[in-house]
Amino acid sequence: MSARPYTFAAVAGSFGGRFERSFARVSSAIESARDGGASMVVLPECALGGYLTVDGRHGRPLELDGPELARLCAVAGDTVVCVGFTERGGRFGRPYSSAVCLSGDGILGHQRKVHLPPSEIGAFSAGEGFAAFDTPVGRLGMLVCYDKVFPEAARTLALDGAETIASLSAWPLDRRSPARRIAADRQTRHFNLLDEARALENQVVWISSNLTGRIGPLRFPGQAKVVDPDGNVLAQTGGRPGTATAEVALGPAIAASRAAISHLDDRARAAYRIDRPAPAPPAAEPARAPVSRRATVELPAPGAAAGRLPGAPAPGLA
């Protein structure tokens, strides 16, 4: 792990509309963060091309090796950029909701969204698996929105050596009964709680981005943030568009968090199984016969007279 400090930037904003409009907004966010000293910038899910529209249409599908991402590599320059886009491919003509990590050197890493919520099952195909990769700012893993709900996803990346996990989201307020205030909404609470818990569980640096604004009836709460390996929020945007920026020395921060107690090293791996029967309950002790507490009286044999020994002849018969 590098002892060098890096400045991480997590973006909250609105990136809908036609492709060129979203590309301009993504480019502006990258340039603004770089001007602020950012070594790495994380933008939301589907920021490039836009998230699902009101009627369920996705943004323009892109090829991973296509000209659009090549253009973005030129914009990134020496800054490491993680951004969401709609990737061409998938089953039954449904594309992937994907994340790409890139810089002026080209594509550094790629991740397809694995867990699809009910609202996306008809729009996207699901990816398979998680893997970390090396970048100029250390070993990195990416998750797309709903993936962060599942602890196995982040844990897989941490076990693969990820020092930093970028979480790219298009996470709205509660779809059924949204709160009037962003801070009071249950999905805002879930979003923030998961960011802190996943960083702490795996003792990694966590960079979380999200959309703001509205898409039809959906309202997005922002809440972009940088979280350290102890689960402390170092910088956050709240519910407004903006960029949360924090400097972290990856190696020392992770080493300090894991020095006294390492969650990865202390796992009881043999216990994490569901392919064996549960332990049998302890055998019950055999029932004991009840003990009577009444006095026992020994009665004389039939025909025996009082004071006569058993077997002695009866009087008058001798």
Number of domains making up the chain: 1
Quick: pLDDT tens for 157-166. Answer: 999 999 999 9
Note the Cα 105 to chain centre separation in Å: 29
Query: Could you tell me if residue 284 is inside a domain?
Result: no
Quick: pLDDT tens for 165-192. Answer: 999 999 999 999 999 999 999 999 999 9
Query: Could you tell me if residue 271 is inside a domain?
Result: no
Quick: pLDDT tens for 44-98. Answer: 999 999 999 988 889 899 999 999 999 999 999 999 999 999 999 978 889 999 9
Secondary structure of residue 96 in the 3-state scheme? strand
**What's the sign of the alpha-carbon dihedral 273, 276, 278, 284?**
negative
Query: Could you tell me if residue 310 is inside a domain?
Result: no
Instruction: Return the exposure string of 267-306: e unless at least 16 CB atoms fall within 10 Å of the residue's CB, then b.
Output: eeeeeeeeeeeeeeeeeeeeeeeeeeeeeeeeeeeeeeee
User: What pLDDT is attached to residue 268?
Assistant: 95
Residue with structure tokens 């963060």? 33
Q: Does residue 315 have a pLDDT over 90?
A: no
Which residue range forms the structural domain that includes residue 91?
5-264
User: What pLDDT is attached to residue 85?
Assistant: 97
User: What value does the mean pLDDT take over residues 24-38?
Assistant: 98
Question: What CATH number is given to the structural domain containing 81?
Answer: 3.60.110.10
> What share of the chain in percent tops pLDDT 90?
80
Q: What confidence category does residue 3 fall into, taking pLDDT thresholds of 50, 70 and 90?
A: confident
Q: Does residue 207 have a pLDDT over 70?
A: yes
User: What value does the mean pLDDT take over residues 99-111?
Assistant: 98
Query: Could you tell me if residue 289 is inside a domain?
Result: no
